[in-house]
């Protein structure tokens, strides 16, 4: 006898279930997808013990007949596609016909459902894939799915579940992802006896953001969209209030939430220097694309996609860039409430020219320039401002032919390892019009450099350069290091004339709002905010 045996249907089901159902949140996701596909506009979710004990999803969608109900829990049964051709033209969230059967294989499942034109509804109970009974029930139109004791029969899986709190967080995260895209659906969520969310339907995504993440975030969200011949992009993103994780940056392709690192990268590319490294904007990017040009059938959990054309990514970046073409603003602290928190200046250059340059009042802490602006009190970080100016001037100098130079040799001593790295990178400095030559053992002489870098602290520059990560961005990085260590510092006293010149030059740069590392340079406190501070 051979060694190969056919697995029993029960084992097959459990193995297959493992690919779709990983934890309570996967059940929540699959059930909500089904409710959305059934055109529900009201979905209530109830969880107990983080979903480990109970997950109940009630919808007011189209429901199922008795026959469909019985079929729905079988493997690979679906009403959403009927042939392989349909796979390349998907318009529903579900299509694999395996969610309910997978859930049935690893839990105690009951489904009650009533379609519109039927007087009574039906309920089935299923355990380990076997239908225990079918009975008539009186329920309103729609479907109720109850999943109890998830993984009661798969101890290996159950063991890997996290605490109730963590599992609950995963489920809430899935619900959030749907609620951002399906704003016309009302969602409510209960955990035990506690109501966690109650989101009424709305046609304005920003209102949803406001309900989910607060008014300040919603107020900071700007919308930009772009239509290309084969793809439409609609982005809602914050420009000031950032997070240290991309946990509130959502992407949807044809209204399906997907997780794609490259999309995050495309957005960050568009923000360029307007964001600090390691920070992420909040909001959502909706992509509509011809379903024939995208493959959703990459993974059982359907959170990955493959595009026929990689141009999607560059299009996301070019659409998001429009956020900054439209308006420029002084970043303001997130703690201030509402409308008047922001000052928008349309058409940057034109309006900067027509607007008065703020009146300089003085310097505080030898760090910040205090100005009186039309809209209120304006604080400018002197170091960041100067860094921005030097950075942009250096970029210009590099391209120019004859550059004003400082010829004043400076000697730098390094350890052997540092000397090795610098020796290898001398051409990068040469490209920046900085002449460095080796002068005996581990010693280098900086012969000349552009005048913009007059105040440079060369020891710091070289040392930081040696510490910086090597990579394709090393040139960019070197420019930032140069700008940082040549700029005036916190603690440098400035005269009114110096401050005036600094502010004037800053306003002529291409990104006056942020230093090359992405930190804000301005902070505006409007008169309204001042009045509130003084309770007027
Ligand atoms: P899929 O969603 O991939 O089709 P599922 O196993 O999730 O597979 O569901 C099987 C079928 O059961 C669906 O195609 C649909 O016809 C029906 N169904 C499931 N949930 C609902 C629901 N909430 N309302 C109406 N029909 C449902
Ligand atoms: Mg489904």
- pLDDT tens digits for range 32-87: 999 999 999 999 999 999 999 999 999 999 999 999 999 999 988 999 988 888 88
Indicate the top mutation candidate among 33, 72, 77 to test ligand 1's pocket, ranked by most ligand atoms within 8 A of CB. Answer: 72
The model's pTM: 0.80
Residue from 146, 154, 149 nearest 125 by CA: 146
**Mean predicted confidence (pLDDT) in 306-323:** 94
Q: Lay out the sheet containing 130-137: strands in order across.
A: 130-137, 121-127, 108-114, 142-148, 54-59, 42-48, 186-191, 194-199
357 C-alpha to center of ligand 2: Å?
A: 59
Residues 6+ apart with CB under 8 A from 401: none
H-helix or E-strand spanning residue 327: strand 327-329
pLDDT beyond 80 at 91: yes
**Mean predicted confidence (pLDDT) in 302-325:** 92
72 C-alpha to center of ligand 1: Å?
A: 6
Indicate the top mutation candidate among 39, 42, 73, 100 to test ligand 1's pocket, ranked by most ligand atoms within 8 A of CB. Answer: 100
Ligand 1 atom nearest to 73, measured from its CA: 6
Ligand 1 atom nearest to 77, measured from its CA: 10
Pairing of strands 256-258, 221-227: unpaired
Residue with more model confidence, 337 or 429: 429
Question: Contact, 215 vs 307, CB < 8 A?
Answer: no
Going by CA atoms, what residue is nearest to atom 18 of ligand 1?
34
149 C-alpha to center of ligand 2: Å?
A: 20
Nearest ligand (C-alpha, residue 80): 1
296 C-alpha to center of ligand 2: Å?
A: 14
Give the other-Cβ count within 10 Å of 254's Cβ: 17
Domains of the chain: 9-199 (3.30.565.10), 205-325 (3.30.230.10), 328-536 (3.30.1540.20)
Res 281: pLDDT: 97
Band of the pLDDT at 103, cuts 50, 70, 90? Answer: very high
Distance, in Å, from the CA atom of 283 to the CA atom of 180, rounded to the nearest integer, reads: 9
Ligand 1 atom nearest to 103, measured from its CA: 6
Residues, CB-to-ion distance under 5 Å, ligand 2: 33-34, 94, 99
Going by CA atoms, what residue is nearest to atom 14 of ligand 1?
78
Band of the pLDDT at 472, cuts 50, 70, 90? Answer: low
35 C-alpha to center of ligand 1: Å?
A: 8
Distance, in Å, from the CA atom of 413 to the CA atom of 419, rounded to the nearest integer, reads: 8
Nearest ligand (C-alpha, residue 100): 1
Distance, in Å, from the CA atom of 388 to the CA atom of 518, rounded to the nearest integer, reads: 10
Question: Contact, 390 vs 453, CB < 8 A?
Answer: yes
- Residues whose beta carbon lies within 6 Å of some atom of ligand 1: 30, 34-35, 38, 59, 61-64, 72, 77-80, 94-101, 143
Band of the pLDDT at 352, cuts 50, 70, 90? Answer: very low
Q: Find how far residue 377's CA is from the centre of its chain.
A: 32
Q: Find how far residue 410's CA is from the centre of its chain.
A: 45
Could you tell me the CA-to-CA distances from 384 to 24, 66, 426, 512, 513 in Å, in that order?
47, 68, 27, 10, 9
Question: Can you state the percent helix, strand and coil of the chain, rounding each to 5?
Answer: 40, 25, 35
pLDDT beyond 70 at 452: yes
122 C-alpha to center of ligand 1: Å?
A: 15
Ligand 1 atom nearest to 100, measured from its CA: 6
Residues in the chain: 536
Could you tell me the CA-to-CA distances from 448 to 61, 387, 389, 435 in Å, in that order?
74, 20, 20, 5
Indicate the top mutation candidate among 13, 26, 37 to test ligand 1's pocket, ranked by most ligand atoms within 8 A of CB. Answer: 37
């Amino acid at each position: 006898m051979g060694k190969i045996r056919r697995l029993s249907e029960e084992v097959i089901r459990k193995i297959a279930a493992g690919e779709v159902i990983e934890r309570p949140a996967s059940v929540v996701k699959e059930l909500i997808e089904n409710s959305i596909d059934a055109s529900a506009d009201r979905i209530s979710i109830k969880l107990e013990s983080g979903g480990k004990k109970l997950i109940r999803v009630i919808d007011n969608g189209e429901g199922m007949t008795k026959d469909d109900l019985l079929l729905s829990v079988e493997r690979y049964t679906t009403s959403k596609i009927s042939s392989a051709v349909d796979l390349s033209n998907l318009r529903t969230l579900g299509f694999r016909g395996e969610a309910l059967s997978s859930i049935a294989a690893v839990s105690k499942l009951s489904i009650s459902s009533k379609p519109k034109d039927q007087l009574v509804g039906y309920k089935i109970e299923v355990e380990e894939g076997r239908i225990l009974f079918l009975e008539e029930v009186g329920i309103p139109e729609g479907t109720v799915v109850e999943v109890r004791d998830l993984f009661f029969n798969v101890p290996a899986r159950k063991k890997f579940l996290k605490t109730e709190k963590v599992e609950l967080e995963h489920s809430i995260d899935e619900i959030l992802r749907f609620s951002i895209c399906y704003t016309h659906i009302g969602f409510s969520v209960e955990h035990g006896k506690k109501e966690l969310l109650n989101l009424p339907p709305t046609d304005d995504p920003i209102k949803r953001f406001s309900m989910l993440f607060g008014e300040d975030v919603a107020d900071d969200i700007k919308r930009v969209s772009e239509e290309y011949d084969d793809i439409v992009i609609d982005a809602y993103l914050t420009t000031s209030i950032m997070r240290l994780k991309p946990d509130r940056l959502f992407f949807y392709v044809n209204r399906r939430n997907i997780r794609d690192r490259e999309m995050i990268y495309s957005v960050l590319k568009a923000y360029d220097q307007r964001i600090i490294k390691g920070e992420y904007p909040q909001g959502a990017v909706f992509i509509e694309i011809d379903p024939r040009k995208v493959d959703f059938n990459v993974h059982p959990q359907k959170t990955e996609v493959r595009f026929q054309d990689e141009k999607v990514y560059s299009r996301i970046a070019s659409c998001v860039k429009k956020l900054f073409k439209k308006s420029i603003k002084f970043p303001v602290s997130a703690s201030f409430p509402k409308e008047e928190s922001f000052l928008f200046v349309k058409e940057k250059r034109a309006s900067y020219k027509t607007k008065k340059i703020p009146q300089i009042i003085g310097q505080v802490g030898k760090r910040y320039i205090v100005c009186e602006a039309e809209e209120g009190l304006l604080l400018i970080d002197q170091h960041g401002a100067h860094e921005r100016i030097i950075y942009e001037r250096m970029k210009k100098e590099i391209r120019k032919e004859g550059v004003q130079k400082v010829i004043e040799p400076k000697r730098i001593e390094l350890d052997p390892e540092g000397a090795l790295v610098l020796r290898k990178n001398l051409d990068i400095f040469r490209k920046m019009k900085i002449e460095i030559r080796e002068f005996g053992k581990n010693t280098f002489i900086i012969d000349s450099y552009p005048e913009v870098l007059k105040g440079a602290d060369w020891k710091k520059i070289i040392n930081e350069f040696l510490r910086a990560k090597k990579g394709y961005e090393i040139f960019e990085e070197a420019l930032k290091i140069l700008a940082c260590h040549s700029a005036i510092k916190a603690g440098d006293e400035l005269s009114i004339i110096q401050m005036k010149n600094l502010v004037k030059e800053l306003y002529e740069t291409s990104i006056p709002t942020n230093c090359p590392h992405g930190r804000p340079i301005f902070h505006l406190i409007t008169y309204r905010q001042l009045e509130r501070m003084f309770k007027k």
